[in-house]
Amino acid sequence: MAAVTRLIPGRTVLFVCDIQTRFRTFVHGFDHVVATGTKMFKLAKVLDLPVIVTEQNPRALGSTVPELNTAPLGDLFLGAYEKTVFSMAIPPVIEQLKKHDFKSVILFGIESHVCVLQSALDLLEQGYDVHVLADGVSSTRKEEVPIAIERMRRAGAQITTSESAAFELQVDANKPNFKFFSRIIKEEGDNTTKALEGLVTSYSKL
């Protein structure tokens, strides 16, 4: 029987890949990617899920969009790292993974066929479990996305959704935080549906 790859509460980190201001006008479904991100930030606080952000050449491509405000995360925010290589698996980020003994990475952002893909491949190669949010990745050309997702899947990444990943980390409805968790899931219901319809559904039809 093949080994089952699951998200591990307490050993999972959220990776936010290059969701920057200059991409807003030309990445397919950009607002849906941002909406998934804001939901994951809210859930991160409830789930005690650490967050790492990267920015690709921010002098040219701008900073992370203001909707993804890391201030409310407090100590859960482990830093924003500038990079010129496409992968998020740069030395200071890998240092954070080792320092906190993370095993699982939840990955979302842009572009699916460049920075997200190369991040997933590098992390898998280094022995981390990678869970890609299908309702949180996109590219300038939407036709690139299903190809990138399929390549990541074949390489060993788990393709999931934001809500599925969140429930996997929550584990139990009897936990004290479930009231707050379920409230966020309900409040974000419309945005979740729109992201699934605008991103995942459109890719599946290609």
Give catalytic residue positions.
Answer: 18, 83, 115
Q: How far apart are CA 73 and CA 78, in angstroms?
A: 9
74-90: burial string, b at 16+ Cβ within 10 Å, e else:
eebbbebeebeebbbbb
What order of strands is seen across the sheet that includes strand 51-56? Answer: 77-83, 51-56, 12-17, 104-110, 129-138, 158-160
* Measured CA distances, 117 to 40, 144, 149, 155 (Å): 20, 11, 8, 10
Query: What whole-number distance in Å separates Cα of residue 157 and Cα of residue 51?
Result: 19
